[in-house]
């Protein structure tokens, strides 16, 4: 099930990405609407991070193209914010928490302008949103994994982008913080921002995402949650991982009776 969109925010056409000449994403074709909280789901090695990297221009496709806001990436890079996977970041880089979040504001400052009070206030505001104000002066190397992740989310927020791409932003983040940040992301989408999140926990995925992309090297589905979350498509995405499927079936059943569902 692949729902195409008129005037999409993001359009991916026939995208193939290979590492060492072996394709890991095959002929991916989908478009996404603006202002939604969108989840990318799939098993380990499904190509989720590769898809995000291809959108960000960090890996070169062997075929196909990506258009964002109907433009090439280079024309809209300053409207996009990217939170990479935790492991790909050098957390020993000597910088305070506040410095890291301030870096998020640099893109809008221009080449020769130094960050001032406005940028500092914005950085503190973003730290507050992720509950990390008290750690502003700490070195990032001295934080726990979950705290570092929260700082990185604050840095992304400080970019004040229109499109956010987050690769497993909740890895190592506790449940209460995950809930608070998901609610924050929901609020951002109400302001017209689009947030795309690679996510592993199927339960919170069902709760928070409005739109779901299911990936397993090929695109299995892309559409509103209510259209794509069914046992058949989940089986195609995750294969015969029956424990997971029975858990998901249970979640779907609960959602059918959940008056709060989207
Ligand atoms: N730089 C690389 N060089 C070679 N192969 C790679 C590289 N990066 C990823 N791969 C391979 O590409 C495939 C897709 O990897 P990717 O990281 O995109 O998957 P993923 O869905 O994000 O996985 P996970 O859920 O485990 O993070 C995997 O088989 C992986 O081993």
Residue 242 reports pLDDT greater than 50: no
pLDDT per position as a tens digit, 112-157: 667 788 889 999 999 999 999 999 999 999 998 889 988 999 999 9
CA nearest neighbour of 12 among 38, 41, 42, 32: 32
Q: How is the chain split into domains, by residue range?
A: 10-256
CA nearest neighbour of 55 among 149, 166, 139, 133: 166
pLDDT tier at 262, thresholds 50, 70, 90: very low
Flag whether the ipTM exceeds 0.90: yes
Domain 10-256 carries which CATH code? 3.40.50.300
Residue 259 reports pLDDT greater than 60: no
- Which one of 16, 26, 45 would you pick to mutate in the ligand 1 pocket, going by the greatest count of ligand atoms within 8 A of its CB? 45
Residue 20 reports pLDDT greater than 50: yes
Dihedral pair phi/psi, residue 187, rounded to 5°:
-60, -40
CA nearest neighbour of 165 among 254, 32, 46, 18: 32
108 vs 233: which has the higher pLDDT: 233
CA nearest neighbour of 157 among 126, 179, 136: 126
Find out whether the beta carbon of 19 lies less than 6 Å from any atom of ligand 1: yes
Helix (H) or strand (E) holding 107: helix 106-109
User: Which residues neighbour 191 within 8 Å (Cβ) at sequence distance 6 or greater?
Assistant: none
Burial of 40 (0-12, 13-18, 19+ CB in 10 A): buried
CA torsion 64-18-36-83 (nearest 10°) is -130
Q: Are the beta carbons of 150 and 131 closer than 8 angstroms?
A: yes
CA torsion 35-41-44-46 (nearest 10°) is -80
Find out whether the beta carbon of 84 lies less than 6 Å from any atom of ligand 1: no
Helix (H) or strand (E) holding 142: none
pLDDT per position as a tens digit, 64-100: 999 999 999 999 988 999 988 887 777 788 889 999 9
pTM of the model: 0.89
Indicate the SS3 state at residue 89. coil
Find out whether the beta carbon of 92 lies less than 6 Å from any atom of ligand 1: no
Indicate the SS3 state at residue 64. strand
CA-to-CA distance for 257 and 245, rounded, in angstroms? 19
pLDDT tier at 162, thresholds 50, 70, 90: very high
Report, as an integer, the average pLDDT of 98-116.
77
pLDDT per position as a tens digit, 170-195: 888 888 888 888 988 998 999 999 99
Burial of 74 (0-12, 13-18, 19+ CB in 10 A): exposed
Find out whether the beta carbon of 237 lies less than 6 Å from any atom of ligand 1: no
Provide the pLDDT for residue 231. 84
pLDDT per position as a tens digit, 192-228: 999 999 998 888 888 899 999 999 999 999 999 988 8
Report, as an integer, the average pLDDT of 29-54.
95
Q: What tokens were used for 191?
A: 């302001």
CA-to-CA distance for 242 and 245, rounded, in angstroms? 5
Find out whether the beta carbon of 48 lies less than 6 Å from any atom of ligand 1: yes
Provide the pLDDT for residue 253. 62
CA nearest neighbour of 215 among 82, 26, 8: 26
35 vs 89: which has the higher pLDDT: 35
Provide the pLDDT for residue 78. 87
pLDDT tier at 240, thresholds 50, 70, 90: low
CA-to-CA distance for 103 and 125, rounded, in angstroms? 14
By alpha-carbon position, which residue is closest to atom 6 of ligand 1? 19
């Amino acid at each position: 099930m692949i729902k195409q969109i008129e005037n999409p925010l993001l359009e991916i056409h026939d995208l193939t990405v290979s590492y060492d000449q072996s394709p890991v994403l095959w002929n991916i074709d989908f478009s996404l609407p603006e202002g939604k909280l969108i989840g990318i789901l799939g098993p380990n090695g499904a190509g989720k991070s590769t898809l995000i990297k291809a959108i960000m221009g960090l890996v070169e496709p062997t075929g196909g193209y990506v258009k964002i806001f109907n433009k090439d990436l280079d024309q809209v890079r300053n409207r996009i914010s990217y939170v990479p996977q935790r492991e790909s970041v050098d957390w020993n880089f000597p910088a305070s928490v506040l410095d890291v979040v301030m870096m998020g504001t640099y893109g809008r400052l221009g080449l020769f302008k130094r960050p001032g009070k406005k940028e500092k206030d914005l950085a503190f505001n973003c730290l507050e949103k992720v509950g990390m104000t008290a750690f502003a002066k700490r070195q990032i190397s001295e934080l726990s994994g979950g705290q570092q992740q929260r700082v990185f989310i604050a840095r992304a927020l400080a970019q004040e982008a229109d499109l956010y791409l987050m690769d497993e932003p909740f890895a190592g983040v506790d449940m209460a913080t995950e809930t608070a940040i998901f609610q924050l992301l929901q609020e951002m989408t109400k302001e017209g921002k689009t947030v795309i999140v690679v996510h592993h926990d199927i339960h919170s995925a069902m709760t928070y995402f409005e739109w779901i992309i299911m990936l397993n090297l090929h695109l299995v589905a892309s559409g509103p949650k209510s259209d794509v979350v069914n046992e058949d498509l989940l089986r195609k995405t995750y294969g015969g991982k029956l424990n997971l499927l029975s858990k998901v079936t249970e979640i779907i059943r609960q959602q059918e009776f959940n008056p709060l569902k989207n």
